[in-house]
Amino acid sequence: MVNIKINGAEYQVPDDSTILQAARIAGIKIPTLCYLKDINEIGACRICVVEVKGARSLVASCVYPVNEGMEIFTNTPKVVESRRTTLELILSNHNISCLSCSRGGNCELHELCNEYGVDPHKFEGENPTPEIDYSATHMYRDNSKCILCRRCVAACGVTQGIGVIGANERGFATQIASAFDMDLADTACVSCGQCITACPTGALSEKDDTAKVLEAIANPDKLVVVQAAPAVRASLGEAFGLPIGTNVEGKMIAALRRLGFDKVFDTNFSADLTIMEEAHEFLDRVQNGGTLPMITSCSPGWVRYCENYFPEFIPNLSTCKSPQQMFGAVVKTYYAKKQGRNPEDIVCVSVMPCTAKKFEIGRDDQNAGGVPDVDIAITTRELANLIKRAGIMFNELPDEQADSPLGGYSGAGVIFGATGGVMEAALRTAAWKLTGENNDAPVDFKEVRGVEGVKEATYEVGGKTVRVAVASGLANAKKLLRDVKAGKASYDFIEIMACPGGCVNGGGQIIQPASVRNFTDIRAERAKVLYGIDEKCEYRRSHENPDIQKLYKEFFGEPNSHKAHEVLHTSYKEQKLYR
């Protein structure tokens, strides 16, 4: 610990703290724009400057270390004027069409400008209007709203280890774009959306598909069904002022009904279905000499990454469709038959924490009923906007339950939204099977829980040794796969999620500002929601779900049957995109 003074008051703080961190300990919030903890620590934006006694100029608090006896001043006239001037300079070539911006009401730049009382026209000058890149399936880039903070660049390069975007040109002409100004669609972008959640302004946004949803609901000839992913209920409440880590499952279902959907189902159901297929696929590979390690295929960002960067691991991928796609496949086959409807007359909408799901619905081999399994994928943010536009008073809604027969789920299905959840869910059913369908088989596999980038565990189940690994964030996945290729690591089963922390931290989740992200682990708080639901579930293993049992009895026969493979499994191929 070291002794310092902040604004005249004395504090003891850890000796490895930056001024920004020390101020936070003292209960003082220093504004930032470019800084993201462990991701983008470059001191470039100069919004976080403070005075330090003895220093010749203002210093960037996000990268400046404390030392014994340091005296810091965070709110002097000189500091305030510097921050205000920096903000006004940023606005000098910034598109301030705030009323129509996708980040209206949730823009870090706008909030700081309000706090510091800036004059948006003080430094008016040349204000170019760059072309908006709409090429990607899942998002667009509007560089007229970019402030060159480079948080998106760091999210892509550091967090994900991909780096398909960076700073092009120099000086006033600097812009964030792909190499050689290629369209994003022509790069090996994996559609994860981590750049969107890192952006402090409206320069990056998912493509808004809410108009398609409303059009479908308004069509009397269509049966419009909706599914909501496990992680959505752990984040949606944040859009309505509820604390991070609030479970809003019941209100979410009530809101979806009030939006006009004909049936409100739950992706947790198809997460259970995925486990039935995936766990049995894993056991088949183990017992019959199949390709190992088997690697999960639930995350479309990871699957696209594998096809682009590690095509040699394509045979290792589980052939199971993701829960989103399995749900749509069941709706367009089993459910359509039960309802006496043509698959063409059913519109399947998914609410996902993931922007890559917009890409996934257009993948090849995702049309079990002869039509796309899922028609429209929207993010948690898009759902929040739909609810607000419809005048639905979300926080006052009663809790409601999903419809049957595609709404019931086990605890194993709900934990899919957290890193390690797919692995644990699969192990629950695999252990039950390996121990002779013994209901005393283990249920909790806590070694694979937590937000660490890579986790490993070894289990002795039914006389077999099962070695597993879990990775979240593609930079971590890259390291893990390289170790496997080099023979440095050996596993039977690997779970990979594209987003750090899993779906709870997906690129389509409610965006929290850096002032929250830097000091609160939102991944862990949201994951607690899912594990809390799991603990209270009547059924905690996928094969125990009565709705799943009924589906196999009436339609599929048994897991990995010929019919199940026709409807629930898919294929992959190497991509030739620039990388």
> pLDDT for 420-461, tens place per residue?
999 999 999 999 999 998 888 889 999 999 999 999 999 998
> Residue 504: in which H helix or E strand, if any?
none
What's the CATH number for 98-206?
Answer: 3.30.70.20
Query: What pLDDT, on a 0 to 100 scale, did the predictor assign at position 124?
Result: 83
Calpha distance 295→315 (Å, rounded): 9
Query: What pLDDT, on a 0 to 100 scale, did the predictor assign at position 578?
Result: 58
Average pLDDT rounded to a whole number, residues 195-213 = 98
Q: Where are the domains of the chain?
A: 2-75, 98-206, 211-568
What's the CATH number for 211-568?
Answer: 3.40.50.1780
Query: What pLDDT, on a 0 to 100 scale, did the predictor assign at position 284?
Result: 95
Q: What is the layout of strands, in order, in the sheet containing 464-472?
A: 294-295, 493-497, 464-472, 454-461
Residues 6+ apart with CB under 8 A from 499: 192, 194, 299, 301, 354, 472, 473, 505, 506, 507
How confident is the model over 342-394, as pLDDT tens digits? 999 999 999 999 999 999 999 999 999 999 999 999 999 999 999 999 999 99
User: Among all chains, which residue has been given the structure tokens 């952006």?
Assistant: 199
| Confidence check: pLDDT of 577 > 70 | no
Among 361, 365, 363, residue whose Cα is nearest residue 348: 361
| Confidence check: pLDDT of 144 > 90 | yes
How confident is the model over 23-47, as pLDDT tens digits? 999 999 999 999 999 999 999 999 9
Query: What pLDDT, on a 0 to 100 scale, did the predictor assign at position 461?
Result: 85
How confident is the model over 221-256, as pLDDT tens digits? 999 999 999 999 999 999 999 999 999 999 999 999
User: Among all chains, which residue has been given the structure tokens 């949606």?
Assistant: 236
Average pLDDT rounded to a whole number, residues 149-155 = 98
Query: What pLDDT, on a 0 to 100 scale, did the predictor assign at position 579?
Result: 52
How confident is the model over 124-136, as pLDDT tens digits? 878 888 999 999 9
CB atoms near residue 519 (< 10 Å): 13
User: Among all chains, which residue has been given the structure tokens 């709705």?
Assistant: 547
Phi, psi of 148 (to 5 degrees): 60, 35
Average pLDDT rounded to a whole number, residues 453-480 = 95
Calpha distance 162→302 (Å, rounded): 12
Q: Could you tell me how far CA 424 lies from the centroid of its own chain?
A: 19
Where does the pLDDT of residue 554 fall: very low under 50, low under 70, confident under 90, or very high at 90 and above?
A: very high
Calpha distance 497→441 (Å, rounded): 26
Average pLDDT taken over every residue of the chain = 96
Domain 2-75 bears CATH identifier 3.10.20.740 = yes
Average pLDDT rounded to a whole number, residues 76-102 = 96
| Confidence check: pLDDT of 151 > 70 | yes
Alpha-carbon torsion, ordered 36, 414, 384, 94, to 10 deg? 20
Identity of residue 301: G
Q: What is the pTM of this model?
A: 0.96
Cα angle value 20/499/540 (rounded, 5°): 115
Residues 6+ apart with CB under 8 A from 488: none
How confident is the model over 177-188, as pLDDT tens digits? 999 999 999 999
| Confidence check: pLDDT of 576 > 80 | no
Residues found in the chain: 579
